[in-house]
Amino acid sequence: LVLLLGSWFGGSASKKSYLLAESKARRIYFSKYDPVAESDFIYSVDQNGENERPLIDSCPEGGHFCTLIPVGVSPDGEFILFNSRAYRKAYMIRNNGKDLQKIDGGEAAAFFSPDGKYICLFSASENIVTIRNVQDPEKSKEFTVSKDLKGLIFQFSQNGKLLQFVNDKGEVYNLD
């Protein structure tokens, strides 16, 4: 899984596009600005840059002026996580563009656990990290982090049992 930020696929200097490459499905997911809708929507292309197709080409909450950013792909390549910057919500959609669902538990989704059973979500305004159980949201766990979430780097441990984060001073913390 590779996440690159920057201008890509015709993005203008004033509008950043976000690129997320996922190897299982051999697709690259990216945001692309639509000047008519004044919004960034999510598209995909195959790994050689051909066969562009929209994954989602409208604002999930309706209206205009949304910025959709792909942020994660499930380990099996079936689901794409994305965030709506304007509405401060996280969503998940199948890689075929179907079964859109809002993910409760945070303002932004970040990534799947290595086994695909959990999604890590953040609420930076409240310093809350939620580990959402994909199959049974009632079994989700919520943690209040005493540190400011801005600038932290998060990842699941290799065995998927710990959520680790590193602050800007290089200090490592574990949530289990």
What is the per-residue pLDDT across 46-75, written as a single tens digit (0 to 9) for each? Answer: 888 889 999 988 888 777 677 888 788 888
In the predicted model, is pLDDT for residue 171 greater than 50? Answer: yes
CA angle 123, 172, 2 (to 5 degrees): 70
Quickly state the pLDDT bin for 148 (edges 50, 70, 90): low
Sign, Cα dihedral of 94, 100, 104, 110: positive
In the predicted model, is pLDDT for residue 9 greater than 80? Answer: no
Whole-prediction pTM? 0.76
* Structure-token pair, residue 102: 């809002």
* Structure-token pair, residue 80: 């794409």
**Please, which residues have CB within 8 angstroms of residue 138's CB and are 6 or more apart in sequence?**
none
According to the model, what pLDDT value does residue 7 have? Answer: 37
